[in-house]
Amino acid sequence: MPYVKEVLDYLKRTSPAQNEFYQAAEEVLESLRPLILQYPKYAKHKIIERIVEPERQILFRVNWLDDKGEIQVNKGYRIEFNSALGPYKGGLRFHPSVNAGVIKFLGFEQIFKNSLTALQIGGAKGGSDFDPKGKSDNEIMKFCQAFMSELFRHIGANTDVPAGDIGVGAREIGYMFGMYKKLSNRYEGVLTGKSLKWGGSLVRTEATGYGVVYFAKYMLEDRGESLEGKKCVVSGSGNVAIHTIEKLYHLGALPVTCSDSNGMIYDEEGVDLELLKELKEVRRERLSEYVKARPNAKYTPIEEYSHGCNAVYNIQCFAAFPCATQNELNLNDVKNLLKNGCVCVSEGANMPSTLEAVHLFVESKICYGPGKAANAGGVATSQLEMQQNASMTSWSFEEVDAKLAQIMKNIYLNASTTAAEFGEPTNLVLGANIAGFRKVADAMIEQGLV
């Protein structure tokens, strides 16, 4: 459809060198073809042209002083993409790979992810090219305070509520919240992922990983399958991967891999969750240290990966959970997964699969949960944290976990029902994109040209 190509050409002309953003936009827009052909109102109101442009893009300088007394300078970003459904909501990422294209792709995906939760939240994303690795606690505090010294003027409990992402955990949220409170003279739920001592929600730490596994569970149940007793591979070793592994164990599965930017672990007996948490959350060490405590496990450094492949996806498995970063899984990886018997993929990372990989997943008709649907549990629980903050109450772990499970079930049912409506019942990419887009687009039309 020429209409979609025209929009993509426009983005490449007006937002140059933002390849991740083009990829995210193309995946969504290609899925919307049948909707736009059937309902011309979306073209008439130019919803596509409007939704690919952020409502507001904030770029700022972050100056901070390191432990040597030297001035450091980083870029800070907050891209507020769409507020048709509620206050802007989306994480902050601190990583050297962060640039405008990465933040725009994440913010664009967040619009539809948040829409799928059926909660009142719009889409946004932010972050910085600051790298927390190798920094002292004092340096991280100084950077977070400097970052918030600019960001605070653009956010608020009913305006924009950031959360964490890669490189931003409870420690960073705490430092930023403290500076926000000081500068604004307000104690409000302006950030989610807060400590339980001062307004955080139970399950928020676990939510994305747990939600990814719940989504896989519901996909498999529809086909008369389950995760119990099944061998699973997981990529990554951060918060999402750790709690994906934890929930897999809860459901009786056997997760056998995890990875970081230097290599991957294959533990045939099952990943030692407590050891993994100790290494990554307490000691903050590389995964290569894992085999010192588990000599029967195998560590493969990234230099030994087969050319063009991720070693995680070369292990025989029933289900795979990409939980590391964008574009970690390519066409060769999909071929390896299918060859090795994988029948279910549930994405914990944002856009972890290339477009070619996504197309092959869809063609194979295995259970495939795209990230914007499968990993929506994190932002959904962030919104539950916002609800608790607004009412000044705190819910039990079991209560929040039950709400999370129901939200993930509703997302799956919404995506699968929509896919069936457009004649492709196994294509959850199409179902999630159309379902997420349609709700936002209808709200935009009803709210007028704003």
Distance CA 25, CA 20 (A): 9
Sorted by sequence, the CB contacts under 8 Å of residue 16 that are 6+ apart come out as none
Pull the structure tokens for residue 148.
């918030």
Cβ atoms < 10 Å from Cβ of 303: 7
Nearest to 125 by CA among 100, 144, 158: 100
Pull the structure tokens for residue 109.
């995906």
Distance CA 172, CA 141 (A): 7
Which of 125, 142, 217, 372 is catalytic? The answer is 125
Distance CA 364, CA 343 (A): 9
Q: 162 exposed, middle or buried (CB, 10 Å; 0-12, 13-18, 19+)?
A: buried
Quick check: is 277 catalytic?
no
Q: Are 240 and 208 in contact (CB under 8 A)?
A: yes
Nearest to 321 by CA among 269, 375, 359, 396: 375
Distance CA 366, CA 389 (A): 40
Helices 2-14 and 19-31: crossing angle in degrees, nearest 10, is 160
Helices (H) and strands (E) in the chain — how many of each? 18, 13
Q: Are 149 and 390 in contact (CB under 8 A)?
A: no
Strands 344-346 and 254-255: unpaired
Could you give the residue numbers annotated as active site? 125
